[in-house]
Amino acid sequence: MKRYLAINTLSFSRELSSRLAYRVDFSMSVVAMTFLQITVPLAILILYGASEGFAGWNVYQALLLTSYAALVHALGHVFVLGVMWGTIHRVRDGRFDLFLLAPMHPLAYLIARSPDIEDIGKIASSLAITLYAALKAHITLGQAALLMLYIPIGLLVFAGIGILMSAITIKFISTWRVYEVLGLLENISKYPLTIFPVALQVVFLVLIPVGVISYLPVSTFIGTGISLLVLGAVFAGLFVTLSIYVWNRALRSYMSAGG
């Protein structure tokens, strides 16, 4: 773990230094990502202004759900989802071979070397909206703190998704459509699972546990769901474990693309 953190910190520092070589471009990117998050509350306000919204959820509870999901998404993109597009580019140009020679497990090395700083601007704005919505939804300070502590569980789910997408890339090489799959799963995590049929609720809590990312913790704290936080953590752990197993199996059939 110490070696992983050292490599990840160094990679993050190098990526940031590289982007700062073009300060105006990087600043514009951060500002754009920050303002992009304004669409999160706007969409909810428009929805509740034109309809009754989600059954059992008032406007601030729905805003808390979507903004908390956006916060976890932003953190996931910065710290764990880089494994997906990092694999896509490196497998296609042959650089993935070098990761197989690293003095640590290639998956851990790949994640450590693939931070994505483009979404940094989203983190602060998503956090601000989340705290505002929590205040309006009458979430206590203690509950808000527990909600923040649950973020690593959501990141586990994103790590599992990224690792699965990485495994698909290793197996099939040209798989740009994985971006669309990721976008779909991210969108699902922004909505109450109760809007889906029961069968899909089970799928999104157990098989592909995107409901663990935001719906489970938020619904528990606002009293619209049952307390399944520990079980959600188990689902997330099992999902990322299965993803790692699939990744290792895919690696066995890897053949260099040759650049």
Among the residue ranges 41-50, 77-86, 88-97, 168-177, the one predicted with the least confidence is 168-177
Q: What is the pLDDT of residue 237?
A: 94
Contacts of residue 36, Cβ cutoff 8 Å, sequence gap at least 6: 122
Q: Report if residue 14 sits inside a domain.
A: yes
259 is a domain residue: no
Total tally of structural domains belonging to the chain: 1
Does the pLDDT value for residue 84 go beyond 70?
Answer: yes
Give domain status of residue 72, yes or no: yes
pLDDT the model gives residue 254: 81
Handedness of CA 173, 177, 183, 186 (dihedral sign): negative
For residues 216 and 118, the model is more confident at 216
Whether residue 257 is contained in a domain is answered as no
Res. 36: pLDDT tops 90: no
Q: Is the pLDDT of residue 11 over 70?
A: no
Q: Give 18-30 pLDDT, tens digit per residue.
A: 666 777 777 777 7
What domain range includes position 15? 2-252
Domain assignment present for residue 258? The answer is: no
Give the span between the Cα atoms of 17 and 19, in whole angstroms.
Answer: 5
Q: Flag whether 152 is in a domain.
A: yes
Q: Which of 32-46, 48-62, 93-107, 234-248 tops mean pLDDT?
A: 234-248
How many H-runs (helices) and E-runs (strands) does the chain carry? 14, 0
pLDDT tens, residue by residue, 180-200: 888 888 889 988 998 899 999
8 or 84: which leads in pLDDT: 84
Strands (E) across the chain are located at none
Q: How far apart are CA 114 and CA 105, in angstroms?
A: 14
Instruction: Note the pLDDT tens digit of each residue in 197-228.
Output: 999 999 999 999 999 999 988 888 777 655 67
Report how far apart, in Å, the C-alpha atoms of 53 and of each of 47, 81, 138, 241 are: 6, 31, 19, 36
The answer to whether position 214 is within a domain reads yes
Instruction: Please report the pLDDT score of residue 259 as a whole number.
Output: 47
